[in-house]
Amino acid sequence: MKAVLVGENRHLFWSDVPNPIVKDEDVLVKIEAAALNRADLMQREGDYPPPPGCPDWMGLEIAGTITEVGKVAAEKSNWKVGDKVCALLGGGGYAQYANVKYDMLMPVPKGCSTVEAAAIPEAFATAYLNLFIEGGLKSGNTLLMNAGASGLASVVIPMAKAFGARVITTVLSAEIAERIKHLGADIIVDTSKQSIVDVLKQQLDEGHPVDVAIDCLGGKIMGGCLPYLSHGARWIMIAALAGRETQIDLKNIYVRNVRIIGSTLRSRTPETKAKILAELVKNVWPKVETGEVKPTIYKVLPITSAEEAHDILYRGENAGKVVLTVE
């Protein structure tokens, strides 16, 4: 089969690789679409190696058709050849086929195309993990989701809204604010004109403080935001794209019972990931199938154009997911 490999000067090329060997707990999926994530860029740069046992090539989420089911997988699941599925991978999605442990698969939601389904596993699992498992988000809560134009925000915002939360998000310009209006955030803060710290202070004064924050930026601004959260709020750090250092008034943390939580999906055990996916199918799939929550697709390209697709993420121009199709 073929896969996208990283060559000299980090150039991407489509090349032959060994066919996967289906183990007893595995299901072989013929990949029809694979979605991009920022972790793919990090892996390409050599900063985010795949977990042991995973292929060397990139790709964390796919959709396609089952072509083979291992013996134990057949005994422990209802998967069968011909089923349309999407899957969360430790790596190896930029290819024609992928071996997937049976409990890392999910059915393609009714009404979703293969391209849309490929954009679901990583982003939706990350959103669900941080909103509900780490964040404990409840109907009526206020959520802060930084970086409103990111691929993750395109899932987090509508998912939070579908479960009854009020959402504040941030963007870098009025143009981007206009571009993400369809996600349904209640307040979009253009940080080129207004400080998010000032907005959070005003929300606290008006009785609508942030209860849960999902932060991929970190940096100096994080410390400025923390005094203006609700009592018992949870600030969930998933990355630090704006810097790894900030200044925090510790008294404010313990007096207000604020919790700062570090969270990544990739570092979780396979058993934990399987539990997250099972909850996702049970609790979120009904809202996907009614259209309340849908992946936002920015651009679709053939897998042979993976380098062009990566450039879109490097430039930060996408509002939503970039997906590669596989013939």
Residue 91, domain CATH: 3.90.180.10
- 132 within domain boundaries: yes
- 97 within domain boundaries: yes
- 267 within domain boundaries: no
Clarify whether residues 102 and 159 are in a common domain.
no
Choose the weakest-confidence range: 11-25, 44-58, 103-117, 271-285: 44-58
126 residue type, one letter: T
Let me know: does 8 contact 299? Beta carbons within 8 Å. Answer: no
Clarify whether residues 128 and 229 are in a common domain.
yes
- 291 within domain boundaries: no
Query: Which domain does 160 fall in, by range?
Result: 124-262
- 278 within domain boundaries: no
Clarify whether residues 133 and 222 are in a common domain.
yes
- 53 within domain boundaries: yes
Coil, helix or strand at residue 105? strand
Clarify whether residues 114 and 159 are in a common domain.
no
The string of pLDDT tens digits covering residues 170-208 is: 999 999 999 899 999 999 999 999 999 999 999 999 999
Task: Select from 276, 75, 235, 250 the least CA-distant residue to 145.
Answer: 235
- 273 within domain boundaries: no
Let me know: does 58 contact 45? Beta carbons within 8 Å. Answer: no
Clarify whether residues 205 and 309 are in a common domain.
no
For range 35-64, the mean pLDDT: 91
Distance CA(104)–CA(107), nearest Å, equals: 10
Clarify whether residues 19 and 89 are in a common domain.
yes
Clarify whether residues 238 and 128 are in a common domain.
yes
Q: What's the number of domains the chain is made of?
A: 2
Is the pTM higher than 0.85? The answer reads yes
Distance CA(145)–CA(142), nearest Å, equals: 10
Instruction: Decide if pLDDT at 319 tops 90.
Output: no
Per the listing, tokens 């509508």 go with: 158
Clarify whether residues 223 and 317 are in a common domain.
no
**What's the distance, CA 172 to chain centroid?**
20
Instruction: Decide if pLDDT at 291 tops 90.
Output: yes
Clarify whether residues 101 and 156 are in a common domain.
no
- 26 within domain boundaries: yes
Instruction: Decide if pLDDT at 151 tops 90.
Output: no
